[in-house]
Amino acid sequence: MESWKCEWHNIERAVRELYPNLEGFKQDSVAIEQMFAQGRYVVHHSRIYNQMYEPHYRIVSKEEYNKLKDKLK
């Protein structure tokens, strides 16, 4: 958890520099800090993100990953 908190603070700093007016970022930052205080750290993508990008995830074995990676080279 401590390494993720450190990583998040680095991400947060970079986002604030690159996108100082990013909509909803301040609220998200507060919510994430509250989660950290409660010992929680798992979140899901926002409704807007899901609508815009329709993320899909697949879990594959290391062997399959390496096969796919080699094909993409």
d(CA 44, CA 46): 6
pLDDT at 11 over 80: yes
d(CA 45, CA 18): 20
pLDDT, mean of residues 2-19: 92
CA dihedral (68, 69, 72, 73) positive or negative: negative
36-66 per-position pLDDT tens digit = 999 998 888 888 888 888 777 778 899 998 9
Residues counted in the chain: 73
Predicted pLDDT at 71: 84
Three-class secondary structure of residue 21 per DSSP: coil
H-type helices in 1-73, by residue range? 2-18, 25-37, 47-53, 62-72
